[in-house]
Structure 1
């Protein structure tokens, strides 16, 4: 018998280059993560915020000069600047798509990212490529590092650095327009280093980030209007009278002509009705704001191809007679194409995987949660009506920060979930998931937050006189996890027993709701073997990382194998389901983590 002969297959240059770029990209992300503040430092920053916040913009201007960018350079970017509580990202996405379909080279900066940090900086609608991200990252970082000593060791934090990098990228890519989404607030946001935007917009306002912006709509509106600049036209979505008053006063101070956008149905368009690229009723408001922003941008650049606007309506808008309503206008086909083909993931997004349907929406304010509930009610009911058999509904929820959990959870009670899974906002430092590493909050803090959410859900269930079954997964911190064991910033811990244990002594005869903390992996015990062998392909990668959901779904997706059911401890109320609907909401970190697992775009 002839001896075995090893055959060496040469690695192509393309593959070698890809491996090298991926390695360099990972090094960039790890270096970027070093600019994050831990919980203790973040707390000190928060305590001194009132004193230091007015310095944020001046600080980033100094960092920009160290990178070689002057304010005059940034003035050349032809910026559309958008603030707001909810819908500002979608508005920016519509602006980008509309202008790209007009033939302009677009730059788009947004936050947070869903799966990879390079998603925050987009050119012509696409996330910055890994090789370009590497190039621009080190250009900016090395220049800051080289000048650190003579500047008292000053380096920008995570968001400030990415803001600098975005402006730097758009300048070097020579984009026709830079669409900039504000991070938090507006007045003191790092993006507000732009002096002369072409046009400004304010999307719908609500109560959020109260520790940074204040706990009243008036205080929040003051911050959001901080992006207004002298003589620069501005538009706002319809707001409550209190918010409109503050927006008007700040616009008047800057001699800024502020208008409220009209109803989306008032725009004239040829042919039949068309469907916006992003689902949800609120998107009509965001699309109207985007239409006004892009039309004004094209007018000021001398780039409109059809008749100009006829001016604002003479009448003042409801809520504030001194603010005029903007005029609607005919939509040419390229604009319609931009609206229809606009994509903005994890906003009213549906992904179907055979017997599973994921409803993804990063709602994190009361208004957006209410909109999310309306959307989920409508579409989940329509789907359920088309399915013959039992349909089970599961909630996967996460929130962080100082948000009022009770107010956010209450609307979700009306959805009639059969199970609820709550995940803390924890990520693990690993070379395989550096894009999702978050050092701002400790494990202990996030576990307490998660436990508070569970307790709140229980109290709401009781107050609504629902029949509930409250269970909690027994969890254990696992270090050194591999890529297959991780998701994004929504990770919890490994199941130590593989079984759900009773959280309290509620009447078992009156229970039908299942509430739990989720785990990021099942570990290496006998239950793990059950997981790996039995999960169907269509939801394997998702539920392995969320074993408590796996426990809830296994029986529904794998028939009536009693031994399998007993081994994996499937809650009785979901047994025999023919289809499972999972609403994932509460925060972009969570829905982004799920998207990265279940979407074919991230395979």
Structure 2
């Protein structure tokens, strides 16, 4: 047995390279074959999209559980601990199960290395293999699988799902799957599978045809937001409507409402034992860590992992509508993101730039010159957060955003403070 504690497992995963020289699925397919293809023994729902895929995955997981299904969930990134990436019936994988499953992956790697000494996995492949192996061993009825990046070349794209889901198409990861919106749409359309339905969310009109054409060529029936199902924000509820049903859910931001609509449409295609009451309960009970997460009211502190242009626009539109006093923003981003376009979105907000101790985290010099001049910079995110929090008047708001890594770091910092007090 190679691993005896969870720290060894996590250290091993993050010591692996991020990419292979050749971006294909051959490595993940080989390891899964060595493990007897665990991905084929569980029914899946496959979820991609520039934004909203994490939220949609959480809603789907809760809906499946309400239908009495033993449910796996594979999502990224994590907020509090690595184990969040792999969940069973809404609970993080235990340290013991993580250690046991990682040791099984290691044994499979050792066997493959005997024939091919150069065989190796990258970080995300290892995580995908862990998830599929765990879900198969637990005899899950369903697993909701969120892609890492893109679709067609993503390491999760080794499944034939019961339903595919594409939430949104926007600019993100352009260097990997871009550079244009059409390239991104084509890459994400790669999760559409032959004779399996696909649910499409808020997709820009100019790339919608790419997805619809792919669905048609695969004989995949498409269900499109605005055409086959509707979402409306009413004065006191979110209303979902399709040709047969109307459901009402507790108010959430509009982008969350779209994710709810997509999840409800997808779940209905599975024809499980779910009545109106169960569907409404499942959605209303879902809490998504790090996504429009109100961690304090009066004065309000909200953490949200918005890390690209589309997500940040949606977030700012929402908080500006709620604005009473001053909006303060603590912004930390990864240096491979659209720092220029994102920092140009801020108007009356008072922005403080910061960073976490992480190689990809942007330093002050990575931001555009205008942002460096205009915004304050505090290297230490804990000091920056505490200073802004102490400034807040009753009607003010503090928004912590720009990266799930920053959101996770701040939430863990707050948790430590509560634990110590």
Change (3 A) 1:25 1:601: farther
User: RMSD in angstroms over aligned alpha carbons?
Assistant: 2.6
**Residues 1:451 and 2:382 are matched in the alignment:** no
Q: Is the 8 A contact 1:64 1:164 kept in 2?
A: yes
* Equivalence for 1:69: 36
Deviation at 1:337, TM superposition (A): 0.5
Q: Secondary structure, in 3 states, of the residue corresponding to 1:411?
A: coil
Deviation at 1:117, TM superposition (A): 1.1
Deviation at 1:146, TM superposition (A): 4.3
Aligned partner of 1:78 among 37, 43, 65: 43
Deviation at 1:99, TM superposition (A): 1.2
Change (3 A) 1:553 1:154: same
Q: Is the 8 A contact 2:148 2:154 kept in 1?
A: yes
* Equivalence for 1:350: 294
Q: Is the 8 A contact 2:77 2:85 kept in 1?
A: yes
* Equivalence for 2:380: 519
**Residues 1:292 and 2:226 are matched in the alignment:** no
Deviation at 1:190, TM superposition (A): 0.3
* Equivalence for 2:236: none
* Equivalence for 1:339: 283
Q: Is the 8 A contact 2:73 2:87 kept in 1?
A: yes
TM-score, normalised via structure 1 length: 0.63
Change (3 A) 1:601 1:287: farther
Task: Give CA-to-partner distance per residue, 1:253-294, whole Å, 9 cap, x none.
Answer: 212122203212342447xx5315xx4211111111101111
* Equivalence for 1:370: 313
Deviation at 1:553, TM superposition (A): 5.4
Residues in 2 aligned to 1:266 and 1:550: alpha-carbon distance in whole angstroms: 40
* Equivalence for 1:426: 357
* Equivalence for 1:594: 410
Q: Secondary structure, in 3 states, of the residue corresponding to 1:148?
A: helix
Q: Write the mapping of 1:403-552 to structure 2, written as runs, cut at 5 A.
A: 403-414=337-348, 416-417=349-350, 420-427=351-358, 441=360, 446=361, 449-453=363-367, 455-458=369-372, 461=374, 515-519=376-380, 546-551=382-387
Q: Is the 8 A contact 1:405 1:456 kept in 2?
A: no
TM-score, normalised via structure 2 length: 0.88
Residues in 1 aligned to 2:389 and 2:143: alpha-carbon distance in whole angstroms: 44
Deviation at 1:451, TM superposition (A): 2.0
Change (3 A) 1:253 1:553: closer
* Equivalence for 1:217: 181
Q: Secondary structure, in 3 states, of the residue corresponding to 2:380?
A: coil
Deviation at 1:171, TM superposition (A): 0.2
Change (3 A) 1:266 1:343: closer
Q: Secondary structure, in 3 states, of the residue corresponding to 1:236?
A: strand
Q: Is the 8 A contact 2:389 2:398 kept in 1?
A: no
Aligned partner of 1:113 among 55, 78, 81: 78
**Residues 1:174 and 2:139 are matched in the alignment:** yes
Q: Is the 8 A contact 2:329 2:400 kept in 1?
A: yes
Q: Is the 8 A contact 1:400 1:425 kept in 2?
A: no
Deviation at 1:580, TM superposition (A): 6.0
Q: Is the 8 A contact 1:204 1:239 kept in 2?
A: yes
Q: Is the 8 A contact 2:303 2:407 kept in 1?
A: yes
Q: How many residues align?
A: 404
Where does the alignment leave 5 or more consecutive residues of structure 1 unmatched?
1-21, 306-330, 385-391, 428-438, 462-513, 521-545, 557-573
Q: Is the 8 A contact 1:83 1:201 kept in 2?
A: yes
Residues in 1 aligned to 2:259 and 2:394: alpha-carbon distance in whole angstroms: 37
Task: Give CA-to-partner distance per residue, 1:518-572, whole Å, 9 cap, x none.
Answer: 226xxxxxxxxxxxxxxxxxxxxxxxxx224445555x4xxxxxxxxxxxxxxxx
Aligned partner of 1:207 among 162, 171, 174: 171
Q: Write the mapping of 1:36-75 to structure 2, written as runs, cut at 5 A.
A: 36-37=17-18, 52-53=22-23, 55=24, 57-66=25-34, 68-70=35-37, 73-75=38-40
Residues in 2 aligned to 1:199 and 1:371: alpha-carbon distance in whole angstroms: 27
Deviation at 1:403, TM superposition (A): 2.8
Residues in 2 aligned to 1:452 and 1:165: alpha-carbon distance in whole angstroms: 35
Q: Is the 8 A contact 1:348 1:375 kept in 2?
A: no
Residues in 2 aligned to 1:453 and 1:30: alpha-carbon distance in whole angstroms: 30
Residues in 2 aligned to 1:135 and 1:357: alpha-carbon distance in whole angstroms: 42
Residues in 2 aligned to 1:594 and 1:581: alpha-carbon distance in whole angstroms: 16
Residues in 2 aligned to 1:103 and 1:135: alpha-carbon distance in whole angstroms: 27
Deviation at 1:224, TM superposition (A): 0.4
Deviation at 1:239, TM superposition (A): 1.7
Change (3 A) 1:517 1:256: same
* Equivalence for 1:359: 302
* Equivalence for 1:585: 401
Q: Secondary structure, in 3 states, of the residue corresponding to 2:143?
A: strand
Deviation at 1:517, TM superposition (A): 2.8
Deviation at 1:198, TM superposition (A): 0.6
* Equivalence for 1:226: 190
Deviation at 1:33, TM superposition (A): 1.8
More strand by share: 2
Task: Give CA-to-partner distance per residue, 1:334-378, whole Å, 9 cap, x none.
Answer: 01111100111111111118x764211111122211111122223
